[in-house]
Structure 1
Amino acid sequence: MITSIRLFIVLILILLSISSTTAMAKEIKYNHNSITVPDIKNKVDFKVFTPQKVPGGWTLETKTYPWGEKEKFTYIRLHYMDTNDTKLIIGIEQRKQLRLQDERLESNSKQVEINGYKGYFKEWGNSGQLDNNHGELITGGLLSWNQEGTHIEIDSMRLTEEKMLEIARSMK
């Protein structure tokens, strides 16, 4: 009887872990008539990366710059929004590789590893405080690195450093 209960608990745990893994969406729903990532890839001179680990239900709004340009973009932003499309969860900016200089970075930046590349994480100055506009605790910060000729910056006020790094490390 005890063996049967243990087996049942193990099966439940396995099912829960599988369902949480499959909650990571492979395809994302675009919002606001955004240009798709495959279309963007044809209009930039750098490699475009997208995170493979984003929760199901997030929507994606793409932004291209310079504003109003239709054929050649110098940089892009991917805005991942909540299920209701009302809150920005994470922003990912990409452009041609920039030179990251250690001496240029402020002393409160922390060096991190992302996909074999040196990156930097800087916590927001008001991290841990309550955002009076949204009634949420401010977390996260700014994460930046160069990967395969592309400079990537991720910013979030809603995700922890650990969650931001998990998403960054899933960039393919």
Structure 2
Amino acid sequence: MPESADKAPTPEPFRASIMQVEPQWIDYNGHLNMAYYNVMFDRAIDELWLELRMGPAYKKERHGSTFTAECHVRYLREIHLGDPVQILVWLLEADDKRLHTFEEMRHATEGWLSATSENMSLHMDMKARRVAAFPPDVRERVVAVTKAHSAVARPEGIGRNVAMPSKR
């Protein structure tokens, strides 16, 4: 969707375009290499940012962008060459400078969950290369999408941390 398009947010997670696993992304174990899960998650976020009008034109014209400050990926089921993938994105929370997102990578035709990614992104003033508040119009869209996504059941796995299982 072009960055200039306006569309009322719907009470469902954002659905990115269906993607295909590329042959060079398969590792010696015969499945998608862990680094390329992040590539696919990032492509989905870029699509959502276009919906929020924070894509390449925003950077060029208004000198704003986002940087990922933190990312937590869970690998739950292997994805292989030829598997179609669709990523769902929830904009969970936002404030004046940050976006908290959660993504699910699913097999696009069978629907099973392959991986999740939880992220904290920072809004940046690219001239100063510092964290900065969203302009009011962007903040308004972010709030609208966050509100729409809050009407949907939260996916399992939000807020998980990395730790060894406790021994009882």
State the structure with bigger RCO (CA 8 A, min sep 6), 1 or 2. Answer: 2
Question: Which has the larger Rg?
Answer: 1
